[in-house]
Structures are given as structure tokens and as C-alpha cells.
Amino acid sequence: MSNALSKAKGFKKSRTGTYLSIATTAFGALGAVKQIRKARSEQDTLLLIDAAVSAAAIVTGLAILVRELKRLGDDDVLLG
């Protein structure tokens, strides 16, 4: 039981957990795209700025996750 619990805690640091985080973050990009389209159609500058900041956060988050994926390499927690 303890071994299963430690594997579950290490899931976030695993290759699979990182892929899941990348997919979740990328899915969030759809919301930002919708927000940008809405802001442009309504010519709402403030909403456009908010959408741009959200998009920048998504891009940064994806870059961090990809870097983490590269660092994991062969040291996958779930495989060990």
C-alpha cells in the first residue's frame, strides 16, 4: 500500500503526469482563443489585453512543462 501511495504522489513528477499537464494546459488555450475572438469582434481593448496575458501564461506554462519533460529523461518515477 505504501508503495502505491508513493507512486501516486510521484505521478505529477512522472512522464505521464507531465503529458497530462501539457494536455490540460493546451486545452486551456482554447478558452484564450475564444476570448481573443470575442474581444476582437467587440473591439474591447481591455478584454483583448486580458486574453493576451492569459495566452502568455499558457505559453509560459507549456514551456516549463516541456522543460520538465526533458529533465525527466530516463528518471521516470513510475517506471522506477
Asked whether residue 23 is assigned to any structural domain, the reply reads no
So what's the pLDDT on residue 80? 47
Asked whether residue 62 is assigned to any structural domain, the reply reads yes
Please state whether 14 falls in left (phi above 0), alpha (psi between -120 and 50) or beta: beta
The whole-model pTM stands at 0.68
Each residue's pLDDT tens digit, 44-55: 999 999 999 999
Asked whether residue 66 is assigned to any structural domain, the reply reads yes
Asked whether residue 20 is assigned to any structural domain, the reply reads no
Asked whether residue 44 is assigned to any structural domain, the reply reads yes
Split into its structural domains, the chain has a count of 1
Q: Is the pLDDT of residue 63 over 60?
A: yes
Asked whether residue 76 is assigned to any structural domain, the reply reads no
Asked whether residue 13 is assigned to any structural domain, the reply reads no
3-state secondary structure (DSSP) of residue 25? helix
Q: Which domain holds residue 39?
A: 29-70
How far is it, in rounded angstroms, from Cα 48 to Cα 65? 26
